[in-house]
Structure 1
Amino acid sequence: MKEYRKAAGRKDTFRKILKYIKKYRFSVVLSLLFAAVTVALTLYIPILTGRAIDYIVGPGNVDFAAVGKVLVTIVIVILLTAAAQWIMNVCNNRITYHVVQDIRRDAFAKIEILPLKYIDGHSNGEIVSRVIADVDQFADGLLMGFTQLFTGVMTIVGTLCFMLSVNGMITLVVILITPVSLFVASFIAKKTYSMFKLQSETRGEQTALIEEAIGNQKVVKAFGHEEETKARFDEINGRLQKCSLRAIFFSSLVNPCTRFVNSLVYTGVGIAGALAAIGGIISVGQLACFLTYANQYTKPFNEISGVVTELQNAIACAARIFELIEEKPQSPDRENAAELSEAEGRVKLEQVYFSYNPEQKLIENFNLKVEPGQRVAIVGPTGCGKTTVINLLMRFYDVDSGEIRVDGIETRDLTRKSLRQNYGMVLQDTWLRNGTIRENIAMGRPDATEEEIVEAAKASHAHSFIKRLPKGYDTVISEDGDNLSQGQKQLLCITRVMLCLPPMLILDEATSSIDTRTEIRIQKAFATMMKGRTSFIVAHRLSTIREADIILVMKDGNIVEQGNHKELLQKGGFYAELYNSQFAGL
């Protein structure tokens, strides 16, 4: 049953590959045509060689004129074969790299519409490995398949046809031994598929670890975790070595096994041909022609066996790519979903239930009503669900049950794009892209003028450090912003929101990496920015949310207290405990 599922999986993957190739069927037909021309011309050469041998009867009895004509014909045929082979290779490369381009495009497009649940549940390195390494492996196998498989099969068929035209009895010897070679290649190919699939999966695991270790090298060194990281890498590398060696060992058996069978074919042709030549059934030239054909007939089996091995690897890699491409995307916007143009900022959560894992409950019966322009602070211990509330407001995740309404409209009845355009978001984790400072600030408003960008930077107190950079606003930064401090990166993210000024704001530890003096200035800028805008503030430093209209105190996914700063302190409950614990030593 397990073997049946594997075979069905391979066939299904192969059908998907053919769907991508179908778009380039003209190039495929052209490739097949020139492959046939290449094979036909290649197989015509032994006939010409046989004729030349027959014109050489013995010493002093050679028809030089006839031999000369044959040699000229052979040169012309060789030149035509080379031209046909070159055109065939051009077609094969075009098909392969267009298919690879399409697959990578579809894979990246799918990543853009996958739910965050998938991204959160898979390491970045593993996803990168599928899109880069697995596609490269697939491309190598596909190119080899086009280049050698077509010509190999045609050479086998063509050789048999030419041999039949010369002598049927000797050809029969070849046909009878052929199934042994096919059986050997098929048996080993089945064994290698699962091993190559395991190799591909382990390679993805290794890529994920390398990406993680390099991206967080400072943390690794700071906590002296080098040896543990190396030990983990060695363990994965060891597993990759074992499964790679097994895959290569079995795949390397194909060539010597098929060569052994091919030698039997050659021997059979040689013995049968020699007997036929002695009996006067065929000439010496025809025997030479037969021996050449026997060689050419068996050669494709060696090539095809190698191709089959590569194809097994390619199909295993393709299966992983198609798993990503066919992953269920986030649920599309509902039909006739409304566009939220300029929100007033009235937000309501009613009986909201949500958990990342069905077996582990998180938010239960969450209720909240926010009027336009109110500032709502969300506080609580780590893991209580503060950031989860933000994810639900932005529809990065949909609620399991209950409703979230903005301006009286259920968020699932709004397009995601319009909903998110009405929120400005500054997170503790900064995100910058490879480009200039100006491009990073204007991400939300690409049409912003230079004056507007500078004004936003001044409002966020980022202008002074930007002017100190080598090229000011034209300074190019990397995607990680390695040439900036964490505080500077956060100031750029704040500037980005200052430029857009949407009707609703989400500030999740927005000033966590900024010095106290700059933070005081930014808090004033935030206060100005938040006037008339509904704002959600997630904070661990409770001193930053004293002026909030509503403070939600969360614990284990539930609101345990609600009110303003003075009211909650007077209650002497959980909020008072949290607040006093931060200032106990002052």
Structure 2
Amino acid sequence: MPEKNVFSRLWSYLKDYKGQLYLAIFLKIFSVVMSVLEPFVLGLIITELTKNLLAMAQGVAGASLNISYIAWMLVVYGIRAILFSLGSYGANYYMTNVVQASTRDLRHDLSKKVNTLPVSYFDKHQFGDLLGRFTSDVEATSNALQQSFLQIINAIFSLVMVIGMVLYLNVQLASVLIITIPLTYLSASHIMKKSQPYFKEQADALGEMNGFVQENLTGFNVLKLYGREDVSQEEFSRITSKLQEVGFKASFMSGIMMPLLNGISDLTYLVLSVLGGLQVIAGKLTLGNMQAFVQYIWQISQPIQTLTQLASTMQSAKSSLERIFQVLDEADEANDKAKLLNQPLTGQVSFEGVNFQYTPDKPLIRDFNLDVKPGEMVAIVGPTGAGKTTLINLLMRFYDVTAGAIKVDGQDIRDLSRQSYRQQFGMVLQDAWLYEGSIEDNLRFGRLDATEEEIVQAAKAANVDHFIRTLPNGYKMEMNQESSNISLGQKQLLTIARALLADPKILILDEATSSVDTRLELLIQKAMKRLMQGRTSFVIAHRLSTIQEADKILVLKDGQIIEQGNHQSLLADKGFYHDLYMSQFSQQS
């Protein structure tokens, strides 16, 4: 992503609220005008007082304080202060609205993008790092806009107006002051250029830390079980040490700007005070204008200091925006054609000469052929890494085949809309997933228009209705964020009920009974049999006792079908399946 596009792309979010944005900028400029007028008005008052007092001291006839003029100028000064406050308040109010709305839109686009990313993206990126782009990176951008945008406007217009005022007051002194501006800018920009790579490394290191923490908290029980606390702590220390190192470099490089700029400002103040004092003595500059000029020295150095103070915030925001737009620029799932299924599938599936590889030159599935009739149960067994999950990923179009074709009802699935195609599937996975919400809402997840009666019927068919009614509030009971307020087996029954309610034509079942007690295992198996009735089903089998009734059993090894048949024929062949079965049931036999 080109570096110059980062902030210009951010404008695409801000411009939707440009009315309020322009109003905020106008009010900020208005408040800057009121601020810049302050030294000038005070200078007029001081000049008048000095002139009056000097005339009175010299005994000039009729000399006295010009009360009416001074009073009028004080009124002007007070009105200026009120207008300054109103302008600042209004600018902050409208800018806050713009920032919050734009941030909401940015998060919405991120969420929408995540739903279009291919599964391969999540295989390559840590969930914690992706979560960090939703949270800390978006928040850094929001803070930069909220805290920095109006301050930058304030600083730029303050510089322009103060330069105009000092030129109006005294060209010679203004020339000295103006010379320091490019010197200050060049010094600051040099330091910013040196520190930017460290801010990028800092953002990446923070993303790595978020990913590490998320993974370790998710697997905390396993980590404790295997006594990996020390190893985890060492890895965390390595990540945080790296974060400390790049964070120190980024902060140190941006931190040395302030002392440098303060030194330039102090030197400028000293030189101009001497030169201004000499001009006052020579009568070329009034005391009031001298006072105004001194105030303008600080008003011209303050915006430059503000810009440099915001450098680290803007650099962090730039790095965060790069990470956000990296996600938004990722390619969507490729070749999602618009052809919709105009009628439900019958469940006929065929693999025709399918080849697939995750990485080039490392083929996993080669010349895979399979015909599945509607309503058949196909069990897939084999050792770890044989390609069982890969086969399901291809069928679901989480990945597309490298060569060959997968067809349903004679149609190449690559010619179908993914959304339309996947709506024909139901999945019950080993890791049951439920979201935070009521049980009723979780069951309705697969079919949003389901009635309460249909939900209850699906729960009864899945042998989970009685259990639900024993819970507080029954179907209205709220699941917590981790769904830990019910057991694993009960979650599996709920996912089966959800699949039944969706009434899919093709089922993907990752056998999920290995972590439950015998009674719940029997309930789950009965529910799964009901679910598979009349539907084409693909079962990734871990316990061979659950697939003895399968119409076809595929034995995979290294992405190839090494054996195929039903339970009895495969046992009779006394091959790999026979050995696997006997190893599981040697005690019973």
Given the two structures, how large is their TM-score scaled by the length of structure 2?
Answer: 0.95
The gaps in structure 2 that reach 5 residues or longer are: 57-63
Match of 2:204 in 1: 201
Q: C-alpha distance in 2, partners of 1:512/1:332?
A: 38
Match of 1:49 in 2: 42
Is contact 1:490–1:513 with CA below 8 Å preserved after alignment?
Answer: no
Is contact 1:340–1:414 with CA below 8 Å preserved after alignment?
Answer: no
Match of 1:181 in 2: 184
Tell me which moved more, 415-424 or 559-568.
415-424
1:27–1:332 distance in 2 versus 1, CA, 3 Å: farther
Is contact 2:496–2:528 with CA below 8 Å preserved after alignment?
Answer: no
Match of 2:60 in 1: none
Q: C-alpha distance in 2, partners of 1:354/1:439?
A: 38
Look up the SS of the partner of 1:366 in the other structure: strand
State yes or no: 1:476 paired with 2:491. Answer: no
Look up the SS of the partner of 2:483 in the other structure: coil
The gaps in structure 1 that reach 5 residues or longer are: 1-7
Q: C-alpha distance in 2, partners of 1:548/1:542?
A: 10
Q: C-alpha distance in 1, partners of 2:152/2:528?
A: 66
Match of 2:458 in 1: 456
Tell me which moved more, 22-31 or 375-384.
22-31
**Paired residue type of 1:151:** N
Q: C-alpha distance in 2, partners of 1:33/1:424?
A: 56
Q: Deviation at 1:112?
A: 0.7
Tell me which moved more, 199-208 or 516-525.
516-525
State yes or no: 1:21 paired with 2:24. Answer: no
State yes or no: 1:557 paired with 2:559. Answer: yes
Look up the SS of the partner of 1:479 in the other structure: coil
Aligned-residue Cα RMSD (Å) equals 1.6
Look up the SS of the partner of 1:403 in the other structure: strand
Q: Percent identity, aligned pairs only?
A: 39
Q: C-alpha distance in 2, partners of 1:189/1:10?
A: 15
Q: Deviation at 1:378?
A: 0.8
Is contact 1:258–1:302 with CA below 8 Å preserved after alignment?
Answer: yes
Match of 1:3 in 2: none
Look up the SS of the partner of 2:179 in the other structure: helix
User: For 1:71, which of 51, 70, 74 is the aligned residue?
Assistant: 74
Q: Deviation at 1:340?
A: 5.1
1:269–1:560 distance in 2 versus 1, CA, 3 Å: same
1:72-91 superposed matches below 5 A: 72-91=75-94
Is contact 1:170–1:273 with CA below 8 Å preserved after alignment?
Answer: yes
Q: C-alpha distance in 1, partners of 2:39/2:530?
A: 89
Match of 2:99 in 1: 96
Look up the SS of the partner of 2:4 in the other structure: helix
Q: C-alpha distance in 1, partners of 2:410/2:464?
A: 37
**Paired residue type of 2:304:** F
Q: C-alpha distance in 2, partners of 1:522/1:309?
A: 57
User: For 2:420, which of 418, 421, 429 is the aligned residue?
Assistant: 418
1:524-539 superposed matches below 5 A: 524-539=526-541
Is contact 1:461–1:518 with CA below 8 Å preserved after alignment?
Answer: no
- 1:127-179 deviations in whole A, cap 9, x for unaligned? 00011001111111222221211111111110010111111111111112221
Q: C-alpha distance in 2, partners of 1:270/1:354?
A: 78
1:81-480 superposed matches below 5 A: 81-335=84-338, 337-339=339-341, 341-480=343-482
1:382–1:325 distance in 2 versus 1, CA, 3 Å: same
Q: C-alpha distance in 2, partners of 1:43/1:523?
A: 79
1:365–1:340 distance in 2 versus 1, CA, 3 Å: farther
Q: Deviation at 1:325?
A: 0.9
Q: C-alpha distance in 2, partners of 1:166/1:505?
A: 83
Aligned residues between the structures: 578
**Paired residue type of 1:416:** R
**Paired residue type of 1:86:** Y
Q: Deviation at 1:332?
A: 4.6
Is contact 1:30–1:91 with CA below 8 Å preserved after alignment?
Answer: yes
Tell me which moved more, 244-253 or 352-361.
352-361
